[in-house]
Amino acid sequence: MTSTTVHLERMIHSWATRLDLEPDVLRRAGTRVIARQDLTTRKRVIVYTFGHGDVILTPPRLQTSTANALDLSARLEPETLLRILPGVLKPLWLDFAWYADQEPPAAPSAVRVLNPSDAALLEALNDACSETEQELGDVQIDQPLVVGWLEDGQLLAAASQLLNGEIADIGVLTHPDARGRGLGRAVVAETIRLSMRAGLTVQYTTQEQNLGSRNIAARLGLRLFCDERGYAVTP
């Protein structure tokens, strides 16, 4: 298998496990509507768009009506669910999952792997970012790999690796005063490079509204694996 195929297959198996589905479901063309009892309590419908097809997870009471209203042999257009279930669904979120299939070039000299002695620098970077940014970035010194951009004794950006089997999920933080300089992209690229050198598949997730993070994915040439759309189910 080519490198791209290996990483794609790992992503398929990782997401199939996460969604409790057979891997072939993620490979098939068309649309699948699958009932999930837990979504009744959560009052959610979640739609995953993969390379060839779509998977709709619904509360059991909506499964049949949703499936009957769709052409299951075709791709799902984002606005279709809102049309066939008028007044039932309210859009909540749109997230993207990307993966790397090529190793980036080596990083500039300002980028290096962080170690426990850099804990205070990383703590200062976290403190400079909002609570939401800290939660989404999730960059901690005790993670398997942490890479930072240092300048004049200050840590201006950091990216880290969270491991799930052979999948390395990348998080990133950039100091508010250093944004727009490509520092986040540089530390993400080096984290990707070192992760791929270690034989791992890299996943990078972003939210729709996080344009900076989406720009990193685009500038690094990451491949879009899937998007996830969440809807609230109204009474």
pLDDT at 1: 67
Tokens of 160: 């880290």
Could you tell me the pTM of the whole model? 0.93
pLDDT at 235: 76
Q: Enumerate the H helices of 144-182 as residue ranges.
A: none
**Closest to 40 in 3D by CA, of 70, 56, 62, 22:** 62
- List average pLDDT for each run of 10 residues in the chain, which is 235 residues long: 87 97 96 96 96 96 95 93 92 97 94 98 97 95 98 97 96 96 97 97 96 95 97 91
At 15, which amino acid appears?
W
pLDDT at 30: 96
Q: Which domains does the chain have, with CATH numbers?
A: 3-99+227-233 (no CATH), 111-219 (3.40.630.30)
pLDDT at 4: 78
Query: Which strands make up the sheet holding 111-113, listed edge to edge?
Result: 30-35, 53-58, 44-49, 223-233, 89-99, 201-207, 167-174, 154-164, 145-151, 111-113
